Structures are given as C-alpha cells and as structure tokens.
Amino acid sequence: MQIHRYERWWMTFGFTMLVFFLLLIGVAAFADNINPPSGMQQIDPTKVAQTPPFDRPGLRKLPDGSYEAYYIAQVFEFTPRVLTIPAASKVTFYVTSADVVHGFFIPDTDINMMAVPGWVNSQQHTFTRRGEYLLICHEYCGIDHQDMFAKIEVQ
C-alpha cells in the first residue's frame, strides 16, 4: 500500500496528539488527583419526602447565624414555593429531585445547580440586596417546565 509522504506526516501528527492528550488526562487523574465530584450526599429519590432533612423543606438557622435552605424539586414545582431570608445572611442551599433532573438557578446570584434524583447538591450565597429573587428550573424537565419556579424574598 502506497501512502503519500504528507499523509504519513499528518497521521503521525494526529496519533502523537492523541497519545499526548491521553497522557495529560492520565496525569490529571492520577498524579494531580483531579476527578469528577464524588463523596456527594446520596438520597433515595422515592423517599425524599420522608428523609430528614428533606421531610421538612425550608429554612433553618444555624448556631453561627448562617442559614441552610432545603429544597425539593419535583415536576413542576419547588418546595418551598416561597422562602423568606433576612438580608445579608449567608445561606447554603441544598437541593435534590424526587423524580427527574431539574435545574436550580437564581438569576443575579451565583446559585446555579442541577437537582439530580438520588443526589443532594449544595451551594452557598450571601444575599446582600433586599428584594424578590426568582428561583427557576433551567433544565428541561417536561411539558410544564416553563412554569417551574419559586420565589425568594430577602428582607
């Protein structure tokens, strides 16, 4: 079989790049210990409403003055639908899904998560501006996805 010289150079370049990038992934995974998220809290998606702390979704004040907010995402609503938070407080949001994958997004903040059945996702935010915030689902979850939202009032 006759392979043109340029074709051989190009195949050598492609193969070299493939090996180089596989090596980079190997170094990142094993030497630098960079891996997909693990050690996340798990939950039985069929028993979310009975599993503490999601059996009482809502806001909890911690001894250090910060807050924890527990949310359940389920077609096509968030529980709780309205949450009132004191201004300038640090809130850790915990969210899980009781059915399919949902989004958990609060525009104008850095809260942007996925609510995945079987897993508890969390993110922290300090609300410095008073007012009303919208919490929306930004992962298509079904026929009424566009109506899946909740409200957060910062007072």
What are the φ/ψ torsions at residue 138 (nearest 5 degrees)? Answer: -120, 25
Quote the longest CA-to-CA distance of the chain.
77
Q: Write down the least CB distance from residue 145 to Cu ion, Å.
A: 4
Q: Which of 91, 120, 137, 152 binds Cu ion (CB under 5 A)?
A: 137
Which residues on neighbouring strands pair with residue 60, listed in sequence order?
68
Q: Write down the least CB distance from residue 119 to Cu ion, Å.
A: 17
CB 91 within 8 A of CB 125: yes
Q: Rounded to whole angstroms, how far apart are CA atoms 136 and 150?
A: 7
Site membership for Cu ion, residue 145 (CB under 5 A): yes
Q: Which is nearer to Cu ion, 137 or 154 (CB)?
A: 137
Q: Write down the least CB distance from residue 146 to Cu ion, Å.
A: 8
> For residue 102, which of 147, 132, 39 has the smallest C-alpha distance?
147
Q: Which of 148, 150, 152, 154 binds Cu ion (CB under 5 A)?
A: 148
Binding positions for Cu ion, rule: CB under 5 A: 137, 141, 145, 148
